[in-house]
Structure formats: structure tokens, C-alpha cells
Amino acid sequence: MKKRFLLFSISLVLISVIITSLISINVNIKNYISEKETSLLTCCNLINMVILEELENGGKIDYKMATKFFSEQMDIRLTFVDKEGNVIFDSSQGQRSANMENHLNREEIREALLTGEGRSSRKSSTLDAEYLYVAKSLEYSGETVLITRMALEINKLKIINDFLVTTSLISSLVGILAAIVIAIAYANILMKPINEMEEQLKATMKENKKAERIRKDFVSNVTHELKTPLTSISGFVETLQDGAAEDPEIRTKFLDIIAIEAARLKRLIEDILIISDIENKREVNTDSDINVRESIEEILDSLGPVIEAKKVKIVTHYAYEIYIGGNNDRFKQLLMNLIENAIKYSHDGGTVTVSAVKKEGKVYISVSDEGIGIPREHMPRLFERFYRVDKSRSQKAGGTGLGLAIVKHIAALFEAEIQVESEQGKGSTFTVIFKG
Ligand SMILES: Nc1ncnc2c1ncn2[C@@H]1O[C@H](COP(=O)(O)OP(=O)(O)OP(=O)(O)O)[C@@H](O)[C@H]1O
Ligand SMILES: [Mg+2]
């Protein structure tokens, strides 16, 4: 693209340089000729003045002498013609001048006889070259006695050559160089936004592809996750129908399993709905001021049975009353998922610490545990939907792997940042930094 643009602009410049050169060469030749004409006419006038003086003084005119200086020093052909057109003397012919043909038919001579001054340019029939002719008549005692004619060879090629070498070539080269520099600079400026657009387009396409892959993965994961508890439920129901229901002990056991699987199914669907609600920007409640301490206490209350079952010790730590602007239900959902994880992945009797502090206008809410921790290599994928470090362990604990995906979605709603610190076997700390 850039190359094509450069090629285009450089050829444009070249064409215009060639055209202007051709025009200026032509103008130059015309100027050169008219300049020469004027100076030749002046010379003719001078010679005529000298001759006139001689005539008035009754002296003899030495034509050969008169032509000597011009023909030898200036390479100018000088011809004297009488009013009948007979050549009196011609510097190029010398003694043979008398043999020359009558010059009355020469344009410049005819013009000089009529108007006193004549000019023309043509190929000389006497000498084989293009000549510029200038003629001036000399009047004596009221009549034309002589025509002084000067001829100068016009070597057009030489003029062009001189011109090209001196002015045209140098200025053209400078012009081309300047044009190339400008074209390159301009191409860079012009191409920059186009290149940037191309990059952006590539990035968007990459993102779209990734989004599409995630969506496909999600659909297949959901199907799989829904199928597992459903298969289990229908399996146990069938067994009960086949007679297992007769045994009260088996019946109770199977019904318990069915209840657990049904609850799991319900939670899974609830979690998927939460994510889809956030993604589709369907808000449940309007924004309000969230009392962080109150919300955390409500969450811990509702988690009471789980805390008790695991014999986990809960430590809370609030610097002072802290408020966050936003949707309270979403906020509680986020913290609930983090605290639930901290309890779930703690050892029995472990400690879970929940703290809220305000620092530099931001609110830091941390949930720490002393549980199993997360191996480093799993950290980057932790917040992906259905991602679980130990699938079987999480599944046994009733997890679906959507908890942290929901945390990530809600944090984005609050424009909050999430930090994770964890060491395998030592415990984990999840910190959410709210704008306050
Ligand atoms: N505090 C923690 N300590 C150790 N591992 C954790 C902790 N929190 C999350 N994880 C790991 O991250 C995975 C993803 O967590 P997430 O909350 O998304 O799913 P889950 O807890 O398995 O299921 P769900 O939350 O949907 O019931 C978990 O399976 C677990 O392996
Ligand atoms: Mg979880």
C-alpha cells in the first residue's frame, strides 16, 4: 500500500518535471533566439553607421576588413547585398562571393528592403546548417544602397544541452529529491492511521474469535454440567421405581442424593442466570449506598450452617464504617462467592479472615483463608467459567466452577480490581479493590 502510494507520487512528480522541463526548454530557445536577433541587429546598425561615414567621406569601403572581426572572433557570417539582391561580399565565401546567387528571394532581405529591417531563420542553402538571419538596410541620399546581413548558426541541441546541464537538470534533480523526501514523509503520515486501523481490525477480529470460542465452550460446558446431575437423578428415580423404594433405608439414602443433585442443578441454573443477567445488563436493583460491614455480617449469617459444619473460625476486621456505591445484591453475591470458597477450600477448623479498609479513597475488601491454596499454573484461568483446579474435589463439594466467573463479572460492574495471592498448602487471599 505504502509502496504503491510512493510509486504513484514519485511518477507524478517525474511526469510534471519532464513537462515543465520541455516547456522551459522551448521558452529558453525562443528567448535565446530573440536575444541574439537584437544583438545582431545592433551589430548591423553599427556596421552601417561606419559604412555610411565612409560613403559620406567618399572613401572606399573595404568589405573584407569589415567582416573580418565578426567572422573570425564571433563566428558570425556577414553578407553585404545591393538593392538588386546581388551579393557584394560574403564572409563565408570571400573572393568567391561574386559567384553567389541573387539573394532577393531571401525573406530577411526582402523585408529589409521594404521596412528597413528584416529577420528570419532557416536552413542555409549556401551552408548546410540552421541559421538565424538579421538584415538592415543602409540609406544614403534618400535611397537604399546596401543591405547588411548577419547570420548566426543556431545549434539547438547545444542550447538544450547547455540549458539542461546548467539550470534544468540541477533544478529538476533538486525538485525530484525534495519531492521524494516529501512523498516519503507524507506517505508515513497518510499510512499511519490506515496501519493503525488495520491493527485495530486485526485485534477486534482476534477478540471476536476468542469470544466465539468462549461462547461455544460455555454451551458445551453447560450441557455437560446439566447432564451430570440429571443423569444421576433419573438413575436413582428409576432404581427406586424398580423396587428399591421398598427398603426404607435405601429409599432415604437415594432421596437424599436426589435432593442434593436437584439442589446442584438449581444452583447451576441460578449461577448461569446471574452471569447472563450481568452480561445482558439486566439490573435487579437500583444503585444505593452499600454498608459494607452490614452486608458482610448478613452474608456470614446466611453461611452459618456451612461455617459450623466445617468448624471454621471467622475473623472480621473493619477499620470503620465503609460505604460503596452500587447494587447491594450484586455486592453480596460477589462477597458470598469469595467467602464460600474460603470456607470450602479451608481445612476443618481453619481460620477465614474478612477485612475491609479504606485507603487513598479506595475500599479494599479481602477474604483470606489458610486452606489448600492454588498452584501457580492455575492462577491465570481461575476466573474462567467452569474452571476448577481439582474438578472431582470441587464437584464433591457441590461446586460448578461458576463462582469466580460471577465474581469477575460483578467486579467489572463495580469497576473494581481483583487481586489474588495464593500459596499451595498455605492458603489464599482474594482482594477486591473498589473505587469507594
Ligand atoms: N480460596 C480458595 N482456595 C483454594 N482454591 C480456590 C479458592 N477459591 C477458588 N479456588 C479454586 O478455583 C476454582 C474456581 O472457583 P469457583 O468459585 O469459580 O468454582 P467452585 O468453587 O469450584 O464452584 P462454585 O463456586 O461454582 O460452587 C475452584 O474449583 C478451586 O479449585
Ligand atoms: Mg466457588
**DSSP per residue, 23-46:** HHHHHHHHHHHHHHHHHHHHHHHH
CATH code: domain of residue 326: 3.30.565.10
The span from the CA of 289 to the CA of 236, in Å, is 47
| Domain assignment of residue 58, yes or no | yes
| β-pair partners for 300 | none
Amino acid at 407: V
Cβ count near 262 (within 10 Å): 14
Which ligand is nearest to the Cα of residue 342, counting in written order? 1
Of 123, 154, 185, which closes a domain?
Answer: 154
CA of 294 to the centre of ligand 2 (A): 22
Share of the chain above pLDDT 90, in %: 44
Q: Note whether 302 and 392 are within 8 A (CB).
A: no
Q: What's the chain's average pLDDT?
A: 87
Whether 180 maps to a domain, the answer reads no
CA-closest residue to ligand 1 atom 4: 373
3-state secondary structure of 20: helix
- Provide the residues around ligand 2 (an ion) whose CB is within 5 A: 341, 403
Q: Find all residues with CB under 8 Å of 131, minimum gap 6, and list them.
A: 77, 121, 122, 123, 124, 151, 152, 153, 154
Nearest CA to ligand 1 atom 7: 341
Taking the C-alpha atoms of residue 29 and residue 26, their distance in angstroms, rounded to an integer, is 5
Give tens-digit pLDDT for 208-242. 999 898 888 888 888 888 888 899 999 999 999 99
The CA-CA-CA angle for residues 80, 40, 112, to 5°, reads: 50
User: Which atom in ligand 1 lies closest to the alpha carbon of residue 401?
Assistant: 19
Is residue 50 assigned to a domain? Answer: yes
How many CA atoms, within 13 angstroms, populate the side-chain half-sphere of residue 70?
Answer: 24
pLDDT digits (tens, 9 = 90+) for 107-137: 999 999 999 999 998 887 777 778 899 999 9
Of all protein residues, whose CA lies closest to atom 1 belonging to ligand 1? 342
Residue 397 falls inside a structural domain: yes
- Is this structure's pTM higher than 0.75? no
**CA gap 301, 298 in Å, rounded:** 5
In the three-class reduction of DSSP (H, G, I as helix; E, B as strand; rest coil), residue 428 is classed as: strand
> What is the distance in A from the centroid of ligand 1 to the CA of 426?
16
Domain limits for position 77:
2-154
Identify which of 157, 72, 82 has the alpha carbon closest to the alpha carbon of residue 112.
82
Q: What is the whole-number distance in angstroms between the Cα of residue 212 and the centre of ligand 2? A: 25
Q: Would residue 189 count as lying in a domain?
A: no
Distance 333 CA to ligand 2 centre (A): 11
Residue 181 resides in a domain? no
Ligand 1 pocket mutation, candidates 341, 345, 366, 390, criterion most atoms within 8 A of CB? 341
CATH number of the domain enclosing 60: 3.30.450.20
Task: Find the 312 Cα to ligand 1 centroid distance in Å.
Answer: 17
Looking at the CA of 380, name the nearest ligand: 1
Residue 284's pLDDT is 53
Residue 18: pLDDT band with limits 50, 70, 90: confident
The per-residue pLDDT for range 52-107, each reduced to its tens digit, is 888 888 878 888 877 777 777 778 889 999 999 999 999 888 888 888 899 999 99
CB–CB of 119/136 below 8 Å?
no
What's the whole-number mean pLDDT along residues 332-336?
95
Residue 285 has pLDDT above 60, yes or no: no
Nearest CA to ligand 1 atom 31: 389
* 10 within a domain of the structure (yes/no): yes
- Measured in angstroms, how far is the CA atom of residue 387 from the centroid of ligand 1? 8
Last residue of one domain, picked from the residues 154, 182, 214: 154
Handedness of CA 368, 374, 379, 384 (dihedral sign): negative
Q: For residue 56, is it within any domain?
A: yes
Our CA angle for 302, 307, 310, nearest 5°, is 150
Instruction: Look at strands 427-434 and 417-423 and give their pairing.
Output: antiparallel
Mutate which of 334, 400, 404, 428 for ligand 1? The one with the most ligand atoms within 8 Å of its CB, which is 404
Asked if residue 293 and residue 149 are part of one domain, the reply reads: no
Residue 356 CA to ligand 2 center (angstroms) comes to 21
Q: Report the C-alpha gap between 131 and 93 in whole angstroms.
A: 16
Query: What angle do helix axes 169-241 and 248-279 make, rounded to 10 degrees?
Result: 160
Cβ 372 under 6 angstroms from ligand 1: yes
Ligand 2 mean position to 63 CA, how many Å?
124
For residue 430, what is its C-alpha cell?
A: 482474594
CA distance 330 to 290: 10
Query: Which residues are CB-contacts of 24 (< 8 A; sequence separation ≥ 6)?
Result: 163, 167, 168
Residue pointed to by grid coordinates 427406586: 240
Strand partners, 119: 134
Q: What total of structural domains would you count in the chain?
A: 2
385 lines ligand 1 (CB under 6 A): no
Alpha carbon nearest to ligand 1 atom 25, residue: 403
Domain boundary among 92, 121, 154: 154
Nearest ligand, measured from the Cα of 395 = 1
Instruction: Name which of 113, 171, 123, 169 is nearest 143 in CA terms.
Output: 113
